[in-house]
Structure 1
């Protein structure tokens, strides 16, 4: 990973160097006005358009590299860190490069500035109305990227979805659930939802809801003792007295219970084993009651 990061940084520096060389060469030609510039006006026009793109793009690339380097040094991160702030800077850089490219095209077409401002205003208003959901997603995506509440790699729970954050784009957030499925959620939904960030907690909570017939007469205390024996083999993963059972609801024929287990640390494999052991024990308990 470190070698990949160093290789990527080397490519970024090489790209900046290439941009700088090409830009300085075009500036030299612009100042000295060689003969072929006069003989071929289209070459002069194309070179000017390239300068319109390369100049601002070069400045933004250098600023991005400085900001990312400063941010990593300030927080003492590893060079291969994946962070929301860096992700947000990369997205903004891509957006600005797209804007600079559009300006270069307009410069090549020699669009009048006043007419350009008027046209862009109309187009921007039309785009905002037509693609307002996409614009909202993009704005929410940038807000999420620069937030310290959610980070790449965090394990979150949002409604019926639970998983690890793999990526945050300008349009959506990508989660990987426990079945290794990719769940794509629009940023507007993420921004307006209640999210439990389990990675930011000191402990991990595992909860299981289940029903028991009222005829069985089982109390939360009995079920706690029963399930504590079931998870005794996982003492290294479960906190002392970390299993509790409480009553969620009482229906006509059954009681709804919730078993909550406090884990010492996040371990998806062990969490899955503990959940399976508890579910299996509850199924066997129900089956035993039915046979009796």
Structure 2
């Protein structure tokens, strides 16, 4: 079985199955051991707590599965830029957390409604203290359910620029051009200058590679060699004055480089094919230099 087949293979929802089995066991216990359970107050409260978590959680999981299935069926032939599924998954996690807290209260004999009412003033104080996090969370939900951004997009927010690798309730997680991870608060999308560089699937792509120091001494030769071989490439748009290999990092025994190129289309497959061609040329050049030295 190849990797693609394994990746597309549906995952077994073990957590959902476990919840359903646990509910069945509790219902069975209530039917056959009702008197014994009622005589033990703590056990009865604990089981009510489990009920108050498991049943809403199971219903929520079924609703989530149905919504995602309908969404995927509706958009199976379109490339959606939004993060609808990501937003549904995050929202489900929040609701499950709320159900769990309510279940804990129920298990300890605390009435959730009375507790929330009595804690209103404290809750307002907490809301003020954690105002930034709450607004970040709301901004994150807006981003997840909108089509402004999507995981994989290249964006620029304020002074930060990179590719989105995750969207959380607190931050956009970016990977910048130096492969560093940058956490950008969600609020910045709405409060600072924002650019989505991938809104129309940019034809720009980057080839990264590294060379030993002895080969890097012939950097100008490599740049000229690649320029001559790529300037007439049918799938690239290259201007003589724009072709430039950039040095990213100089290490103890190697130098890292990157080369920004524009293809004729935004096809990721084409970008990968061109990148492989360039890397093969670099390997040939490296072998040539090492043999002659």
Cα shift at 1:98: 0.7
Report SS of the residue matched to 1:152. coil
Q: 1:178 to 1:265 in 2, by over 3 A?
A: farther
Q: 1:89 to 1:49 in 2, by over 3 A?
A: same
Report SS of the residue matched to 2:48. helix
How do residues 195-206 of structure 1 correspond to structure 2 at under 5 angstroms? 195-201=194-200, 203-204=202-203
Q: 1:119 to 1:238 in 2, by over 3 A?
A: farther
Cα shift at 1:92: 0.6
- Counterpart residue number, 1:169: 168
- TM (norm. structure 2) is 0.66
- TM (norm. structure 1) is 0.66
Distance in 2 (CA, whole Å) between partners of 1:5 and 1:126 is 47
Distance in 2 (CA, whole Å) between partners of 1:72 and 1:4 is 17
Distance in 2 (CA, whole Å) between partners of 1:183 and 1:93 is 26
Report SS of the residue matched to 2:198. helix
Cα shift at 1:123: 3.3
Matched, 1:181 2:176: no
Cα shift at 1:46: 0.7
Q: Is the 8 A contact 2:81 2:148 kept in 1?
A: no
- Counterpart residue number, 1:57: 57
Cα shift at 1:203: 4.8
Higher helix share: 1
Matched, 1:20 2:46: no
Distance in 1 (CA, whole Å) between partners of 2:232 and 2:157 is 30
Cα shift at 1:198: 2.1
In the alignment, structure 1 segments of 5+ residues that lack a partner are 207-228, 244-260, 274-292
Q: How well do the aligned residues superpose, as a CA RMSD in angstroms?
A: 3.5
- Counterpart residue number, 1:3: 6
Deviations 1:56-85 (A, max 9, x none): 11111111111111111211179xx99611
Deviations 1:243-265 (A, max 9, x none): 8xxxxxxxxxxxxxxxxx97534
Larger Rg, first or second structure (1 or 2): 1
- Counterpart residue number, 1:122: 121
